[in-house]
């Protein structure tokens, strides 16, 4: 099993605890995502991922990130790519719009490298990578980038009717067929999704009849992932008192056929992330 979305020192967790999280949930490896930003909201640096990877190369799939608003973002990303250790770019989680040219210049490099890119899509006033209607333009413009969708507004678009972000970012209840992500996952070879966090789980559990078909339809496009901030892989330090893996795995085991489950838990990540 591979956890396709995890952060180092999430919630103050130590590197050792992050490795223990990977092992405790029964994963072999995890994608470790830095988030570099100019405003210091995250400040999860690529260099820290490099240091952890040097220590735990058999547990970490290292991604790099660069603050796209930096003047020298392209040069910095090229320097990172030259090190030859990174498997992809992300988590792209900044207060920029999807049609921002500063994002496009970074994606052009990722396109040359044939990299996967992990995205946090969240509409609203302090959203990240807002303007999801522009995503299809990027899919066409950067065909070698393997887009990996994640977060609230990605999963809200499992349904054709999406409430205003000011109303809720976590819609519940029956899914109206014809949602944006359902269509993009069918129409484009270069878009995928990770199933991490409450948004991923909520997107599946709000309408289980719909979700069972969605999981079957896109069984080659989805990756198990946690984005879990807990300290030990058992829920330490979280208000809900459980690890995301403890919530997500039983749902997937119940809703997905065994072969497809193996793909979602492991094989898709190997293929999509070029492992």
In the bound state with Zn ion, the residue whose beta carbon lies nearer, of 67 and 227, is 227
Q: Does 243 bind Zn ion (CB under 5 A)?
A: yes
Based on CB atoms, which residue is closest to Zn ion, 145 or 230? 230
Q: Which stretch binds Zn ion (CB under 5 A): 94-102, 108-116, 130-138, 238-246?
A: 238-246
Cβ proximity to Zn ion: between 109 and 230 the closer is 230
The residue assigned the tokens 């999509």 is 272
Output the CA angle 62-68-72, nearest 5 degrees.
100
Q: How far is the CB of 19 from Zn ion (least distance, A)?
A: 13
Single residue of 50, 61, 96, 230 touching Zn ion by CB under 5 A: 230
DSSP code string of 122-157: B-STT-BSB-GGGHHHHHHH-TTSEEEE-SHHHHHT
Q: How far is the CB of 226 from Zn ion (least distance, A)?
A: 6
Under the binding rule (CB under 5 A), the answer on residue 228 touching Zn ion is yes
Contact track, Zn ion, 146-175, x by CB under 5 A: ------------------------------
171's CB contacts (< 8 A; 6+ apart) are 156, 159, 162, 163, 206
- Specify which residues 148 forms β-bridges with: 118, 192
- Taking the least distance from each CB to Zn ion, the nearer of 37 and 227 is 227
CA–CA dist 72, 239 (Å, integer)? 40
State the virtual CA torsion across 193, 199, 200, 203 in degrees, nearest 10: -110
Find the shortest distance in angstroms from Cβ 224 to Zn ion. Answer: 13
Which 36-65 positions form the footprint of Zn ion (CB under 5 A)? none
Q: Which is nearer to Zn ion, 20 or 81 (CB)?
A: 20
- Mention every residue, 6+ apart, whose C-beta is less than 8 A from residue 47: none
| Nearest distance in Å: CB 47, Zn ion | 18
Contact residues: Zn ion, CB under 5 A: 91, 227-228, 230, 243
């Amino acid at each position: 099993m591979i956890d396709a979305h995890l952060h180092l020192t999430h919630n103050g967790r130590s590197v050792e605890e992050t490795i223990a999280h990977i092992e405790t949930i029964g994963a072999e490896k995890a994608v470790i995502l830095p988030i570099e930003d100019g405003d210091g909201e995250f400040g999860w640096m690529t260099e820290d991922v490099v240091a952890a990877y040097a220590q735990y190369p058999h547990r970490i799939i290292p991604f790099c990130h660069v603050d796209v608003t930096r003047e020298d973002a392209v040069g910095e990303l090229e320097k990172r790519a030259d090190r030859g250790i990174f498997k992809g770019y992300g988590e792209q989680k900044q207060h920029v719009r999807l049609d921002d040219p500063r994002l496009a210049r970074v994606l052009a490099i990722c396109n040359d490298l044939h990299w996967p890119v992990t995205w946090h899509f969240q509409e609203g006033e302090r959203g990240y990578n807002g303007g999801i209607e522009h995503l299809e333009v990027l899919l066409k413009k950067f065909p070698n980038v393997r887009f990996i969708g994640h977060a609230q507004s990605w999963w809200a678009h499992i349904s054709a009717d999406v409430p205003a972000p000011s109303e809720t970012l976590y819609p519940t209840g029956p899914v109206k067929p014809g949602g944006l992500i359902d269509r993009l996952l069918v129409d484009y070879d270069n878009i995928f999704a990770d199933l991490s966090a409450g948004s991923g789980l909520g997107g599946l559990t709000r309408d289980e009849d719909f979700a069972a078909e969605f999981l079957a339809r896109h069984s080659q496009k989805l990756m198990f992932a946690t984005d879990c901030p807990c300290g030990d892989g058992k829920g330490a330090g979280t208000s809900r008192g459980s690890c995301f893996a403890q919530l997500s795995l039983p749902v997937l085991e119940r809703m997905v056929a065994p072969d497809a489950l193996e793909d979602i838990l492991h094989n898709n990540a190997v293929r999509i992330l070029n492992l």
